[in-house]
Amino acid sequence: MSELNLRSNYNPDVLSCLANLSNDEVFTPPAIANQMLDMLPQELFESPDTKFLDPACKSGIFLREIAKRLIEGLKNVIPDLQERLDHIYHEQLYGIAITELTSLMARRSLYCSKYPNSTFSISSFDDIQGNIRYRKMQHHWINGSCSYCGANQEQLDRGEEYESHAYEFIHIDNLEEILNMKFDVVISNPPYQLDTAGAGRQAKPIYQNFVRQAQKLNPHYIVMITPSRWLTGGMGLDQYRSEMLNDNRIVKMVDYSLSRECFPGVDIAGGVSYFLWQNNYHGTCNYTYIDGDSKTVQDRTLNEFDVFVRNNLALGIVKKVMMKHEECISKYMSSLGPFGLGTSERGSQIKTLNSYVLLSSAGRSFIDKKKITSGENYIDKWKVIIGKATSAGAATASKDGDRKVIATLDVLEPNAVCTFSYFIGGAFKSKSMADNFKRYISTKFVRFLLLQCLSSIDISKNKFRFVPDQDFSKTLKDQDLYKKYNLTKKEIEIIESTIKPMDTESSDSNA
């Protein structure tokens, strides 16, 4: 085999094609894999002692691209090509596949043969796995869920013939049992989530388990790409977010607001990001935020707030607002489902003496008072209701690059209630106060601050943590707010270009 063939670029690259597939176990495009490898000190690829591990192999792209760099970097250290290949594949590159199928794909990518003990393998091994292992694991069920990953027993306890998604790297207590060696670099694109069969068939994130296990190995470097939702929200990620934001060993991070900019054809709510973690580093993080054509880079302290403000351009605005030390408007807001009515509740078209007006996603109807199980303190007030689903996922901009953020904003009169599709932004005794509150929520200023805390299609009261309380006896407009918080012309332009105008008059007649 010639060295020229090993170094040639594949066109088309089958791994580029695989990277366009949509799945929770997203394949990494070669270009992104190489951008992640570029964050590492490049002298690692010139040492015959550097050991690399991918604990969640799918296509084998990371190991393949590392091999290319080692083949070039070790030229002077091990001049003979076959001897160099044997050393790299036997002593430096290791992987743990997530399924039997991906183990075959990864071996084919790395060894040019799905069976590395065959005559077609670049380097000969004595067994069919080489250094890319796959072990079929079982979940550890306790009270219907896996104690390691939280998988739902009803969904995944289904017989030997099916894939269990019990990934070895995160289903073992003693990591030394896996490969029993010290790794310099752990690099991966781990599986992102598992179906829990919960309300709305929500999925449970699991990528954080791979990051934590990698840290337990205490390598010199960790490079991983995951959804970005952990930066601001996400189910069950509060503790993980706190751990990561307070870990000053994260040297670099590259954050895409739109996942398709990183994974073509794949839509991951909140975008994706990859980071470099270094075990002997303590300092600020060189953070890059990419939002369409906009790319900003800034050295950041990750734990300035309890959520991370991803947009570098927004950070100064948030800081100016927080410097006022005002209470946030979350204190006015209800939890989701303020009246105990499900999303599917439609009420009746028949009005009786014992009914309230009901607002649902299907419009207005009437509902028997007996069906109201909570929120009695809101019923006799003028209520500003907010749709819990954002407009176009909030992270998705229009062709002009701006966002609406809030899809539904309305005022409900006394004796009117709503379904789980909405929550109460504020309840007031007077209509004028409710109208002023609604107009405040509709300002670009408020929706811009709300946007900084959103990571999915859902809005809740805690997402308004950066939005300050005001005097709602008077009407507030964007220009008033820009002046109050001393925003510069450039900061105002950022808000104006990011947020769409919102019609504040459309629902007043409903009240």
Length of the chain: 511
In terms of domains, do 111 and 144 share one? no
Q: Are residues 484 and 337 in the same domain?
A: yes
Say if residue 72 is in the same domain as residue 57. yes
DSSP string, 133-187: E-------EETTEETTT--BHHHH---TTS-----GGGS-S-GGGTS-S--SEEE
pLDDT of residue 154: 83
How do residues 278-312 score in pLDDT, each as one tens digit? 999 999 999 999 988 889 999 999 999 989 999 99
The reply to whether 265 falls in a domain is: yes
pLDDT tens digits, 51-66: 999 999 999 999 999 9
Q: Of 309, 339, 372, which residue constitutes the final position of a domain?
A: 309
**What is the number of structural domains in the chain?**
4
Residues 4 and 128 in one domain: yes
> Are 130 and 160 in a shared domain?
no
Is 368 found in the same domain as 339? yes
Residue that is written with structure tokens 């991803």 in the block: 310
The answer on pLDDT for 35 being more than 60 is: yes
What is the chain's Cα-based Rg? Answer: 27
**Mean per-residue pLDDT over the chain, rounded:** 89
Range of the domain at 70: 1-135
Structural domain includes residue 405: yes
Shared domain check, 362 and 503:
yes
Whether 467 is in a domain gets the answer yes
Let me know whether 475 and 348 are in one domain: yes
Looking at the fold, whether 126 and 158 belong to one and the same domain comes out as: no
> Do 126 and 161 have their domain in common?
no
Q: Is residue 92 a contact partner of residue 47, using CB atoms and an 8 Å limit?
A: no
* pLDDT on residue 326: 97
Residue 320 placed within a domain: no
Residue 316 lies in a domain: no
Q: What is the pLDDT of residues 409-446, one digit of tens each?
A: 999 999 999 999 999 999 999 999 999 999 999 999 99
Residue 179 in any domain: the answer is no
- 49 with 91, same domain: the answer is yes
Do 353 and 245 fall within a single domain?
Answer: no
Q: What is the pLDDT of residue 270?
A: 86
- 185 is a domain residue: no
Q: Does any domain span residue 414?
A: yes
C-alpha distances in Å from residue 360, one per residue of 344, 347, 399, 450:
8, 9, 30, 23
